[in-house]
Amino acid sequence: MARKNTDAVPAGNPPTEEQVVEYLRRTPDFLLRHPDVAVTLSPPSRWPDQDGVVDMQAFMIEHLKAEVERLKMAAEHIIHTTRVNMAIQNRTHQAVIALLAAPALADLAVVVGDALPGLLAVDAAVLCLETGGEGVLPAALRGLEPGSVDRLLGGRARTCALNDEMPGDPAVFGDASAQIRSSAMVRLAPGGDAPAGLLALGSRQGQTFHTGQGTDLLTFLAGVAENCIRRFLT
């Protein structure tokens, strides 16, 4: 049941000035509960009372200053966030160009391991495929046992796993796993005869990747890697 608003003014029957004054005297905390109303008022610059002088304009100016400061901080936050997002997007575009320039699978693994860390501002990047140890793999490509991708991502339905404060998995990062404190792993499903795999990024700084973080650029980068692998293996 809706609460009845006792402060509402009946349509066509506005209160008199005397009624307004009487109400405000009976409700001394009205402006505290409704500070936005004070901003719309046009009080005298000085209002004498029994205790001296109360400057209502000073109150309004302080309120407006606080509001301007709040809006300024919000605008600065938006500008900073936009610049960071643009920088990440530009880094991702450069990484995509580097992946597309690889002429073979071995070169693709080298680009991931050598170029992506600098382009994406991380400490490690690894390309992994579930080869089961069969055949000779390029040195820069890490082989995983079948089923490893589902295990690492926490299920077949998951395409990405972000770990904020967790050591790197040795099966993925090898000897560098002890130095990894935060990681991102994205499923690679090239299709056809190509095995499933992972594109993994690792950082020595905790909280570099965290749950709730946007993954659209990361999955886009993984999609490019998938297409490259499919092209090389089919």
pLDDT digits 0-9 by tens, 128-175:
999 865 555 677 788 898 899 999 998 888 898 998 888 888 989 988
pLDDT greater than 70 at residue 41: no
Residue 60: strand, helix, or coil: helix
CATH numbers and ranges of domains, the chain: 16-100 (no CATH), 103-233 (3.30.450.40)
What is the pLDDT of the chain when averaged over all its residues?
82
Look at residue 4 in the predicted model and tell me its pLDDT. Answer: 47
Look at residue 227 in the predicted model and tell me its pLDDT. Answer: 92
**Mean pLDDT to the nearest integer, 34-60:** 62
CB 144 within 8 A of CB 131: yes
- Give me 144's structure tokens: 């995983």
pLDDT greater than 90 at residue 109: yes
Contacts of 124 (CB under 8 A, 6+ apart): 117, 168, 173, 176, 180, 200, 201, 202, 203
pLDDT band for 42, please (50, 70, 90 cuts).
low
pLDDT greater than 60 at residue 85: yes
pLDDT band for 2, please (50, 70, 90 cuts).
very low
pLDDT greater than 50 at residue 38: yes
CB 111 within 8 A of CB 98: yes
Q: How many CB atoms lie within 10 A of CB 91?
A: 17
pLDDT greater than 60 at residue 11: no
Q: How many CB atoms lie within 10 A of CB 53?
A: 9
Q: How many CB atoms lie within 10 A of CB 112?
A: 27
